[in-house]
Amino acid sequence: MANDTEILHYLWNGKLPVCFQLDEQEIHGIQNPEPFYLMVPRMSYFPLVCDKVKKHFVKHVDPEKQEMEMWLEFKNIPLKWNNPIGVLYDLFTINDKQVDLPWKITVHFDNFPEDQLLRCSCRESVESNFMSSMKEADMLKHRSQVFSTMQRHQHNQLWTGLLNDKFDQFWSENKKLMEPSEGSYFKHIPIHFYRSGSSVMTQTLVKPVSDDGNHITLGELIKLNYPSLDNPKIFTHGICIPHETPIQWMSEHMSYLDNFLHLVII
Amino acid sequence: MSMTCQQFVEYAADLKNHSDLIDDGWNLCQYQCPMNGSLINYLVKKKIQKKNKSLLKSIHSDSLMEDKIPIVCEYHILYNPSYSCPDVFFNMWYTDGKLLSLEHVWSLVHSFLKQNVVHDKWNAITQEMHPFSNTPFFRLHPCKNTHVLKMLGFSPKNNYKFNPLIAWLSTISPLIGLEMHLSYGNKELKS
Task: Give the pLDDT score at A4.
Answer: 84
Residue B105: list chain A partners with CB under 8 A.
none
Q: Is B135 on the interface with A (CB under 8 A)?
A: yes
H helices then E strands: how many in chain A? 9, 10
- C-alpha count within 13 angstroms, C-beta hemisphere, residue B76: 23
Confidence of residue B64 (pLDDT cuts 50, 70, 90): low
Task: Give the pLDDT score at B63.
Answer: 54
**Smallest CA–CA separation between B189 and chain A, in Å?**
29
**pLDDT tens string B39-55:** 999 999 999 998 887 77
Confidence of residue B1 (pLDDT cuts 50, 70, 90): low
**Chosen from B122, B132, B133, B139 to mutate, greatest number of chain A CBs within 10 A:** B122
Residue A80: list chain B partners with CB under 8 A.
129
Backbone angles phi, psi at A197, to 5 degrees: 85, 0
Whether the per-residue pLDDT at B37 is higher than 90: the answer is no
**Smallest CA–CA separation between B159 and chain A, in Å?**
24
Confidence of residue B155 (pLDDT cuts 50, 70, 90): confident
Inter-chain CB proximity B135 and A115 less than 8 Å: yes
Q: Is A200 on the interface with B (CB under 8 A)?
A: yes
Confidence of residue B190 (pLDDT cuts 50, 70, 90): low
Give the C-alpha separation, A20 to A38, whole Å: 8
Residue A200: list chain B partners with CB under 8 A.
34, 134
Closest CA to A235 of A82, A45, A91: A91
- Tens of pLDDT along chain A (266 residues) come to 456 899 999 999 999 999 999 999 999 988 899 999 999 999 999 999 999 999 999 999 999 999 999 999 999 999 999 999 999 999 999 887 899 999 999 999 999 999 999 999 899 999 999 999 999 999 999 998 999 999 999 999 999 999 999 999 999 999 999 999 778 899 999 999 999 888 889 999 999 999 999 999 999 999 999 988 888 999 999 999 999 999 999 999 999 999 999 999 99
Residues 6+ apart with CB under 8 A from B9: B41, B79
Closest CA to A175 of A83, A259, A247, A260: A259
Confidence of residue B189 (pLDDT cuts 50, 70, 90): low
Closest CA to B53 of B68, B73, B31: B68
Output the average pLDDT for chain B: 88
